[in-house]
Structure 1
Amino acid sequence: MKFAVIVFPGSNCDLDLYHAVKDELGEEAEYVRHDSGDLSSFDGILLPGGFSYGDYLRCGAISRFSAVMGEIRKAADAGKPVLGICNGFQILTEAGLLPGALLRNKELKFICRTAGLTVTNADTMFTSEYTEGETIRIPVAHGEGNYYCDDQTLERLKLNRQIVFTYSEDFNGSREGIAGIVNERGNVLGMMPHPERAVHELIGGTDGLRLFRSIVKQWREAHVAHA
């Protein structure tokens, strides 16, 4: 499976994602610039964390107009897995690929720690290697990770089982503790925690690696088995 790691001006977690996919997962990965006009050769798209365009205006507000976003939308429409982590999640909401918005943390402080996450939906292409209801530990590092949506959107997220991860404790103010959601089709995931920073025991555990394994497992079942 071949992944595109999108690099925006100000991305700083692209190397972590590349390492997770290439060295720990053993799959292909390639850095792709924000001004790229073709993602057709890739099987999965990864949007890393960081401070794209310096987080000017709002986090992800400028990145949504990058040339590559049109290609990311095409990939999503084609059913390919698209994963946005931290700033990548913010970009996906700004681009309308996921509902809601990410606001400043409730205490208006940057938070860097390991958080407990509850897997609320293990029946997605991103979570099949987890058990529903289990608690995993994934690092977070954000100043604007407070997920917000209106009541109508929240009810729709619940009805469609689009809430994939919730925080085990409320530390940033996210509505109902939401840490990660998927689109209605289930192939676009946005999450504030950093699974790419939990892929080896030497750096604190491998709970994040199972997310990437889930993506590859789904892709192989859909493509290799029918090749």
Structure 2
Amino acid sequence: MKFAILTFPGSGSDVDLYHAIHEVLGQEAEYVRHTESDLSDFDAVLIPSGASYGDYLRPGALALSTPVIESLKEFAASGKPVVGVGNGFQILTEAGLLPGAFLRNKGLKFRSGNTKLTVQNAETIFTSEYEQGQEISIPFAHEYGNYFVDEQTITELKNDQRIVFTYANDNVDGSTEAIAGVLNEQGNVLGMMPLPDRAVEEIIGGTDGLPLFNSIVKRWSEQNVSQA
């Protein structure tokens, strides 16, 4: 399976994603710069965290002016998996590929650490290797982690089971309904604020992020590798 890892000026966890995919999972991964305009050769796209363009104007906003975004929209429309973590989630909302917007943390400060998440939907292409209701520990690092959606959108997300992760123990930063990760309507685009790429080896504090990437590979294998 071949993963594209999009990079923008200010991207920070692109190296972490590459390590998770290439070194830990043993899958093919390639950095794709924001100046590229063709993602058709890839099976999945990952958008890293960081501070694209220094979070100028709004986190993720200036990424929309880059050539790769139009290709990303075409890629998502094709049904292939797309994951945005941290700033990548913010880019996906700015691009209109996911609903909602991001506000500053409720405490108006940058925060980092580990957070407990509850898996709300274990029947997606990103979560099939988790158990329904499972609690996992995933690192986070953000100042604009306060995910906001209106009441109508919340109703739609709940009815369609598109809320994938919620904060389990607390919701310090103020995200609507404690949402930590959501899907698009088609179910092939996932955005989440915590960073699963930083939880793929015991030596760095745990492996609770690994099932997410394994789920993607498993679904691709089921669809593309013939069974003997």
For 1:196 and 1:26, locate their aligned partners in 2 and report how far apart those are by CA, in whole Å.
Answer: 14
State the 1:226 CA deviation.
7.2
Specify the code of the residue in structure 1 equivalent to 2:70.
G
For 1:174 and 1:104, locate their aligned partners in 2 and report how far apart those are by CA, in whole Å.
Answer: 10
Unaligned runs of 5+ in 1: none
| SS class of match (1:137) | strand
Partner of 2:123: 123
For 1:132 and 1:48, locate their aligned partners in 2 and report how far apart those are by CA, in whole Å.
Answer: 26
Partner of 1:201: 202
Matches within 5 A, 1:9-24: 9-24=9-24
Specify the code of the residue in structure 1 equivalent to 2:34.
H
Partner of 2:175: 174
Partner of 1:155: 155
Find out whether 1:94 has 2:94 as its counterpart: yes
| SS class of match (2:6) | strand
Specify the code of the residue in structure 2 equivalent to 1:79.
G
TM-superposition CA deviations, 1:140-164 (whole Å, max 9, x none): 1000010100100110000110000
Partner of 1:211: 212
Specify the code of the residue in structure 2 equivalent to 1:101.
A
TM-superposition CA deviations, 1:56-78 (whole Å, max 9, x none): 00000110221101111111110
State the TM-score, normalizing by the size of structure 2: 0.98
Find out whether 1:54 has 2:54 as its counterpart: yes
Specify the code of the residue in structure 2 equivalent to 1:209.
L
TM-superposition CA deviations, 1:127-178 (whole Å, max 9, x none): 0000010100000100001010010011000011000000011111001100
| SS class of match (2:216) | helix
For 1:65 and 1:128, locate their aligned partners in 2 and report how far apart those are by CA, in whole Å.
Answer: 34
Partner of 1:187: 188
Partner of 2:145: 145
For 1:171 and 1:218, locate their aligned partners in 2 and report how far apart those are by CA, in whole Å.
Answer: 34
Partner of 2:104: 104
Query: Runs (4+) of structure 1 moved beyond 4 Å?
Result: none
Partner of 1:221: 222
For 1:210 and 1:102, locate their aligned partners in 2 and report how far apart those are by CA, in whole Å.
Answer: 26
State the 1:41 CA deviation.
0.5
Specify the code of the residue in structure 2 equivalent to 1:38.
D
Identical columns (%)? 60
For 1:10 and 1:118, locate their aligned partners in 2 and report how far apart those are by CA, in whole Å.
Answer: 30
Find out whether 1:114 has 2:114 as its counterpart: yes
Partner of 2:67: 67
For 1:78 and 1:97, locate their aligned partners in 2 and report how far apart those are by CA, in whole Å.
Answer: 13
Unaligned runs of 5+ in 2: none
Instruction: Give the paired residue count.
Output: 227
TM-superposition CA deviations, 1:100-133 (whole Å, max 9, x none): 0111000011110100000000000000000010
For 1:101 and 1:132, locate their aligned partners in 2 and report how far apart those are by CA, in whole Å.
Answer: 27
For 1:184 and 1:60, locate their aligned partners in 2 and report how far apart those are by CA, in whole Å.
Answer: 21
Find out whether 1:133 has 2:133 as its counterpart: yes
For 2:43 and 2:227, locate their aligned partners in 1 and report how far apart those are by CA, in whole Å.
Answer: 16
For 2:147 and 2:173, locate their aligned partners in 1 and report how far apart those are by CA, in whole Å.
Answer: 9
State the 1:98 CA deviation.
0.1
